Amino acid sequence: MSVYDERRVKIVATLGPASRERDTLRELFLAGLDVVRINAAHGTPEERSVLVNDVRTVADEVGKLVPILFDLRGLKIRTGPLANPAEDTVGIPRGGTVTVVNTPAPATSEVIGIDFPQLFEFIHRGSRILISDGLIELLVERIDGNSAQCHVGRGGHLHGRQGVTLPEAMIRGGSLTPVDREDLQWGVEQGVDFIGLSFVSDANDLHLAKEVAGWYSSRPPHFIAKIERPQALENVRSIASAADGLMVARGDLGVQMAPERVPRAQKEIIRVANEFALPVITATQ
């Protein structure tokens, strides 16, 4: 059976601890799962290799072609751990003031460390810093050397090692970090069908990734460009011209821009994908 059967809409599912056993894979494939996604951020290369082998073995047993999408993690900016390991969270009250530093310093209600040494190259007075998918919003009021004084526009409970988004920042080079290059080599050598490229800004990110993949195989995988930042949306046509598919990363788009703008952005990405005759994945959130 071809993956391009009479049902044009395909189902992509991320495999995790609850779905990696062979019996569960068999049930998923028979229930209609078409493509499996493996997240590079989880598991060791050895564990992922076992999973790839299990997917292919079970797919052969049920007589179904199940492509594998290996999703690279991209640049991840995170806060530091909590200062008190005994606590699950630390309160960041709305209307208060916190100091932000560009090291993974342990977080308190007064100081939040962000593990991104180049942080102050990308923020300025008036910049927003969003933490934990925007649950906490900080507004930069003043930068003093390697620290920033921020007003808490939206408070909340901060866990350790939370994701950080800089909505106004034009960060380049985040689509293929050194860790991503190692993961890309692994994916190519495993013969995965698709590579998900995170935090794409323009077509150059695709050209670079394809060049690196070509170092390891004369038949590298297809590349899915994840549209998850405003600059990618602005360059979606050039990205589509270089990609083998697009992914509407709704969760990240909803943090980078006003959530009410996401449906319109989603429609535009899908329209461009259709124009370029590319598969498009509408995913997350």
Q: pLDDT per residue over 5-19, tens digit each?
A: 567 899 999 999 999
pLDDT at 93: 97
182 and 161 in a single domain? The answer is no
Which secondary structure element, helix H or strand E, spans residue 151, and what is its range? Answer: strand 147-154
By CB atoms closer than 10 A (0-12, 13-18, 19+), residue 170 is: exposed
Instruction: Tell which of 165, 195, 219 closes a domain.
Output: 165
Q: Are residues 121 and 189 in the same domain?
A: no
> For residue range 109-161, what is the model confidence (pLDDT) as tens digits?
999 999 999 999 999 999 999 999 999 999 999 999 999 999 999 999 999 99
pLDDT category of residue 85 using cuts at 50, 70 and 90: confident
pLDDT, residue 1, reads 46
149 and 257 together in one domain? no
Q: Which residue has the higher pLDDT, 64 or 175?
A: 64
Count of structural domains, the chain:
2
Q: What is the mean pLDDT of the chain?
A: 94
The model carries a pTM of: 0.89
Clarify whether residues 271 and 187 are in a common domain.
Answer: yes
CATH number (domain holding residue 214)? 3.20.20.60
Co-location of 217 and 265 in the same domain: yes
Q: Do residues 67 and 192 share a domain?
A: yes
| pLDDT number for residue 10 | 94
Q: Which of 129, 146, 165 is the last residue of a domain?
A: 165
How confident is the model over 199-229, as pLDDT tens digits? 999 999 999 999 999 999 999 999 999 999 9
Specify the pLDDT at position 241: 98
pLDDT computed for residue 8 by the predictor: 84
Residue 245 and residue 199 share a domain: yes
Report which secondary-structure segment, H or E, holds 266: helix 262-275
**Domain range for residue 217?**
12-75+172-283
The phi, psi pair for 32, rounded to 5°, reads: 120, 5
Q: Which of 165, 183, 199 is the last residue of a domain?
A: 165
> Are 186 and 263 in a shared domain?
yes
- pLDDT score recorded for residue 171: 82
| Whether residue 49 is found in the same domain as residue 159 | no
User: Is residue 183 domain-shared with residue 278, that is, in the same domain?
Assistant: yes
Torsion angle (degrees, nearest 10) of CA 207, 210, 211, 216: 170
